[in-house]
Amino acid sequence: MGQTPNRGFTVWFTGLSGAGKTSIAHRVRDEIQRRGNVSVEVLDGDVVRTHLSKGLGFSREDRDTNIRRIGWVCQLLTKHGVPNIAAAISPYREVRDEVRKMVGRFVEVYVKCPVEVCERRDTKGLYRKARLGELKQFTGVDDPYEEPLNPEVIVSTDRETVDESAGKVIRRLEELGWLGR
């Protein structure tokens, strides 16, 4: 019996809260599934924090631990041929680069959006709470976000629709030969 090629890969969405990571991630998942008749796992930062990383706070150490945990799951899925998508703020460049090395077949997508636009989109009121001092160590307000230096894809969600942004990601996966046209 012949060896089947590894079809697993990780698409890692990073950006501020409210930038549009989850919306684009789900659109990309739907398109990959449509084209490949394959299941795609989405690891959403909020959901992971509730289950896999329950009990972690928002210190740099806890955030890094959370991202490493998500990265470890992505690495396992990739290794076993499962396309997967992570949508997590992942504010620190160093740990994102660490996850990239761990996973291997990895596409970083920077979901770029000005903080003012993210604040306007904020349905949970997190930015307001952070501005009032009720929420500490909030990325983009009183904790830094380190933009990726060389992401494979940059989407600008203040100027693009979800479909346009998802289309950029899909095109990159096609260029890499990880997704058929």
Kindly tell me the sign of the dihedral angle through the C-alpha atoms of 159, 161, 165, 167: negative
Tokens of 97: 């680069």
% residues pLDDT > 70 (the chain): 96
The predicted model gives 169-178 an average pLDDT of 95
Instruction: Please determine, for residue 1, whether its predicted confidence score (pLDDT) is greater than 50.
Output: no
The residues carrying an active-site annotation are 90
Instruction: Please determine, for residue 3, whether its predicted confidence score (pLDDT) is greater than 50.
Output: no
Cα 108 to Cα 66: distance, rounded to the nearest angstrom? 17
Q: Using an 8 Å Cβ cutoff, are 16 and 140 in contact?
A: yes
The pLDDT score that the predictor gives to residue 46 is 79
Whole-model pTM: value is 0.92
Q: Using an 8 Å Cβ cutoff, are 107 and 171 in contact?
A: no
pLDDT digits (tens, 9 = 90+) for 27-85: 999 999 988 768 899 998 878 777 777 777 788 888 899 999 999 999 999 999 999 99
Bigger pLDDT: 34 or 10?
10
Question: What stretches of the chain adopt beta strand conformation (E)?
Answer: 10-14, 41-44, 84-87, 106-112, 153-156
Angle at 153 between CA 46 and CA 160, to 5 degrees: 80
* DSSP notation for 106-131: EEEEEEE--HHHHHHH-TT-HHHHHH
The pLDDT score that the predictor gives to residue 37 is 66
The predicted model gives 110-126 an average pLDDT of 94
% residues pLDDT > 90 (the chain): 71
What does residue 179 show for φ and ψ, rounded to 5 degrees? -145, 130
Q: Where are the chain's structural domains?
A: 10-175
The predicted model gives 106-115 an average pLDDT of 97
pLDDT digits (tens, 9 = 90+) for 85-97: 999 999 999 999 9
For 156, the 3-state DSSP assignment is strand
The CATH T-level fold of domain 10-175 is Rossmann fold (3.40.50)
Amino acid in position 96: R
The pLDDT score that the predictor gives to residue 89 is 94
The predicted model gives 114-142 an average pLDDT of 91
